[in-house]
Amino acid sequence: QVQLQESGPGLVKPSETLSLTCDVSGYSLSRGYYWGWIRQPPGKGLEWITSIYHSGTTYYNPSLKSRVTISVDTSRNQFSLRLSSVTAADTAIYYCASHWSYDYFDYWGQGTLVTVSS
């Protein structure tokens, strides 16, 4: 069974770059699967941010595309999210997730709260 765990700073200053990593266990990223990031502002709904196929093909939410980068490090069996020029509106719980098929997320990390504040 795939297990995912997010890590990264819990506090980021406005205009800086948010960086998160998702460690994957139970499955080798190089073998397949899509890997993605979803966020949830406190008390609000889910928003898909980005996904990457194990081969490196990337997919982005159009509303965030200009600020988002997703990458995979198969040697460390992890994938990462970078979101630049953050504002308070980017404050959210960030989840990493796997999806065997592009259209649905089958395994999720526990989520990590990132607060944007000076």
Partner 1 sequence: QSALTQPASLSGSPGQSITISCTGTSRDVGGYNYVSWYQQHPGKAPKLMIYDVTNRPSGVSNRFSASKSGNTASLTISGLQAEDGADYYCCSYTSDYTLVFGGGTKLTVL
Which residues are near partner 1 by CB under 8 A? 38, 45-48, 51, 59-63, 95, 101-106, 108-111
Output 54 or 74, the one with its CB closest to partner 1.
Answer: 54
Minimum Å gap between C-beta 66 and partner 1 is: 14
* Alpha-carbon gap, residue 1 to 25, rounded angstroms: 8
Asked if 118 and 87 count as a contact pair (C-beta separation under 8 A), the reply is no
Contact 41, 90 (CB under 8 A): no
Cβ proximity to partner 1, 27 vs 59, nearer residue: 59
Q: Shortest gap between Cβ of 67 and partner 1 (angstroms)?
A: 15
Residue 49 or 116 with smaller CB distance to partner 1: 49
User: Is the Cβ–Cβ distance between 16 and 88 less than 8 Å?
Assistant: no
What is d(CA 48, CA 93) in angstroms, rounded to the nearest whole number? 12
Residue 69 or 74 with smaller CB distance to partner 1: 69
Q: Which two tokens stand for residue 88?
A: 């308070």
Residue 118 C-beta: closest distance to partner 1, Å: 27
